[in-house]
Amino acid sequence: MRRDDMDKPKLLIVDDDEEIRTQMKWALAQEYRVFIAEDRASALEVFQAERPAIVTLDLGLPPHPRDMEEGFRTLNDILQADTNAKVIVITGRNGREYALQAIGQGAYDFFRKPIQLGELQVVLRRALHVYQLEQEHRALQQRLYSQAFGEMLGTSPQMQEVFTAIHKVANTDASVLIVGESGTGKELVARAIHRRSGRREAPFVAINCGAIPENLLESELFGHEKGAFTGAHMQRKGRIESAQGGSLFLDEIGELSLPLQVKLLRFLQEHQLERLGGRESIAVNTRVLAATNMDLHQAMAAGRFREDLYYRLGVVIIALPPLRERGEDVLLLAKALLQRYTTEGKYKITAFTRQALTALQSYNWPGNVRELENRIKRAVIMAPGTRLTPGDLDLASPFSKYEGQGLREAREALEKELIQRVLARHKGNVTRTATALGVSRPTLHELLSKYAIER
Ligand SMILES: Nc1ncnc2c1ncn2[C@@H]1O[C@H](COP(=O)(O)OP(=O)(O)OP(=O)(O)O)[C@@H](O)[C@H]1O
Ligand SMILES: [Mg+2]
């Protein structure tokens, strides 16, 4: 193959008429690297192997060139394999209806026989132009995704607020308290703050206060001198000291015992600490970032968390919204995660079905982004098709969207939904809706105002 051939865009011609194939190939080879196929199977094979940008597809393919069934199937297969491909269907003289149907199914354009090569070339050039624009757009969007905020994604106003807060606080030495349900990205926020701070070259040290037994946690945090306790054979620096010049991330801060809360408070006030069994005070320049999914106000009211520590830690508080309150971010995240997992592992899944997108959006996400990650990760491995369905994501059950809610909330959500549906079916007629739901009119009126349902 000549070198400049490699730079030409790829075109696949699918036609069962050899004469047409040859004629088209001959006319278009100047501009395109042309591949040809004569039936559905070979079309798909070539398409998968070469990934052409544009395809011309004769709808009348064997074994029954007169009905367009095989052509439509081929169209579907190609678009399943790559929704971005531009397919131009070619129909017989009277194929207008088929052509429109094909466009409805995702074909880019149509062309009628007999083929005027000059005209076809114009159509192809335009299709290629659109293809290239879309590709550029995707590449830009991709860059935007990955730059958005390190690996933190989100375009919802709630997340933009979080990003702004990270920006503002990063270059100060203020302690930051990050609160939010589990899986909302608290650790990611802490890392983002560290990475954007002047401390980025120094260590980011994370410790989970809930995962370490209380009697070990103290020396883990503050370190110890040789002989401080049985088994302390050597002197050891604690995590606060290892994060010297950098940031210490205290996860699950609500689990810290009261005596350790006092010690931590002292460190925050004086920037000095004593190792266990040590006598000298050591000056340590470590910034503290803390996180919790516990309601610290409740813990303070119950005397389990010190108020003075709360105010020291929470000079700035960043509250992460639950995923279900982030609107379109669910889809943005889902698509980005799908892309991440499919490029990691060479899977052939390319997208979500429409139903899956709806299911993703109406689900409650009690485990937030982490749960979304896990569902997509598993679906990518297990799904048989090329597009993920609600079933693949384990969101097919009518109950899945109520998961994570209490019985009462779930009951009310269901009640509201059902009333809305039946009301819509009866075009807002209250009497008929009440009858259909088996309640009296006054009861229905009460429910309508309770759920703020408009007729
Ligand atoms: N906005 C986001 N964009 C992309 N990925 C995210 C986002 N938020 C969270 N994640 C991912 O979700 C997972 C959970 O995030 P992270 O561990 O920071 O949450 P967490 O709030 O600390 O959870 P937990 O309370 O369970 O410790 C991580 O894999 C993280 O990369
Ligand atoms: Mg965490």
pLDDT at 137 over 90: no
pTM, to two decimals: 0.65
For the Cβ of 368 lying below 6 angstroms from any atom of ligand 1, the answer is: no
- In the prediction, which pLDDT does 399 show? 74
Indicate if ligand 1 lies below 6 Å from the C-beta of 373: yes
pLDDT score, position 129 = 95
**Residue of 187, 320, 374 with the most ligand 1 atoms within 8 Å of its CB, for mutation:** 187
Q: Flag whether pLDDT at 178 surpasses 90.
A: yes
What is the mean predicted confidence (pLDDT) over 242-249?
Answer: 96
**Per-residue pLDDT at 147 exceeds 60:** no
Q: What backbone torsions phi and psi does residue 229 show, to the nearest 5 degrees?
A: -155, 165
Confidence of residue 326 (pLDDT cuts 50, 70, 90): very high
Separation of CA 258 and ligand 2 centre (Å): 22
Average pLDDT, the chain: 90
Least confident of 13-27, 81-95, 223-237, 336-350: 336-350
Task: Indicate whether residue 151 lines ligand 1 (CB < 6 A).
Answer: yes
In terms of pLDDT, which residue wins out, 137 or 361? 361
User: Of the bound ligands, which one is closest to the alpha carbon of residue 186?
Assistant: 1
Q: What residue owns the CA closest to ligand 1's atom 8?
A: 185
The reply to whether ligand 1 has any atom less than 6 angstroms from the CB of 321 is no
Mean pLDDT of 183-203: 94
Structure confidence at residue 150 as a pLDDT band (50, 70, 90): low
Poorest-pLDDT segment among 5-9, 19-23, 236-240: 5-9
Token pair of 428 as six digits? 């807002």
Does 404 sit in the ligand 1 pocket, CB within 6 Å? no
If pLDDT is split at 50, 70 and 90, which confidence band does 28 have?
very high
User: How remote is the CA of residue 236 from the centroid of ligand 1, in Å?
Assistant: 31
Q: What is the pLDDT of residue 149?
A: 53
Cα of 189 to ligand 1 centre, how many Å?
A: 8
Q: What is the pLDDT of residues 82-114, one digit of tens each?
A: 888 999 999 887 788 899 999 999 999 999 888
Q: Whose CA is nearest to atom 10 of ligand 1?
A: 185
Task: Determine how many CB atoms are found less than 10 A away from the CB of residue 177.
Answer: 23
pLDDT tens for 377-436 read: 999 988 888 889 999 999 987 777 777 788 888 889 889 989 998 898 888 899 999 998
Band of residue 56 on the pLDDT scale cut at 50, 70, 90: very high
* Cross-strand pairs, 265: none
More confident residue, 66 or 364: 364
Q: How far is the centre of ligand 2, averaged over its atoms, from the C-alpha of 188 (Å)? A: 8
CB-based contacts of 236, cutoff 8 Å, min separation 6: 219, 223, 224, 275
- 3-state DSSP: the chain helix, strand, coil percent, rounded to 5? 50, 15, 35
Which of 142-156, 241-255, 345-359, 425-439 shows the lowest per-residue confidence on average (mean pLDDT)?
A: 142-156
Q: Distance between CA 162 and CA 141 in Å, rounded?
A: 21
Mean pLDDT, residues 334-359 taken together: 86
Identify which of 312, 81, 1, 277 has the alpha carbon closest to the alpha carbon of residue 176: 312
Residue 386: per-residue pLDDT = 85
Among all ligands shown, which has an atom nearest to the Cα of 182? 1
Is a pLDDT exceeding 70 seen at residue 438? yes
Higher pLDDT, 200 or 345: 200
- What mean pLDDT is predicted for residues 205-221? 92
Residue nearest to atom 30 of ligand 1 (CA): 185
CA angle (389, 393, 395) in 5-degree steps: 90
> How many angstroms is it from 183 CA to the middle of ligand 1?
5
Please, what is the angle between helix 430-437 and helix 441-450, to 10°? 100
Q: Is the CB of 69 under 6 A from ligand 1?
A: no
CA atoms of 99 and 182, how far apart (whole Å):
51
Determine which of 75-79, 186-190, 231-235, 269-273 has the lowest per-residue pLDDT on average: 231-235
Q: Which residue CA neighbors atom 25 of ligand 1 most closely?
A: 182
Q: Quick one: residue 275, left, alpha or beta (phi over 0 = left, psi -120 to 50 = alpha)?
A: beta
Percent of the chain with pLDDT strictly greater than 90 = 65
Residue-wise pLDDT tens digits, 278-311: 889 999 999 999 999 999 999 999 999 999 999 9
Instruction: Check pocket membership of 153 for ligand 1, CB cut-off 6 A.
Output: yes
Residue with more model confidence, 156 or 205: 205
Atom of ligand 1 nearest to the CA of 180: 21
Please identify, by atom number, the ligand 1 atom nearest to the C-alpha of residue 159.
1
C-beta separation of 254 from 306 below 8 A: no
The single-letter DSSP state of residue 402 is: G
Would you say residue 185 has pLDDT above 60? yes
Q: Give me the mean pLDDT over the 348-362 stretch.
A: 90
Contact 75, 106 (CB under 8 A): yes
Evaluate: CB of 152 within 6 angstroms of ligand 1. yes
Over residues 42-54, the mean pLDDT reads 94
277, 229 Cβ separation under 8 angstroms: yes
Which of the pair, 264 or 68, is modelled with greater confidence? 264
Ligand 1 proximity of 183 Cβ (cutoff 6 Å) = yes
* Atom of ligand 1 lying closest to residue 152 CA: 3
Q: Which residue has the higher pLDDT, 296 or 148?
A: 296
DSSP 8-state secondary structure symbol assigned to residue 255: G
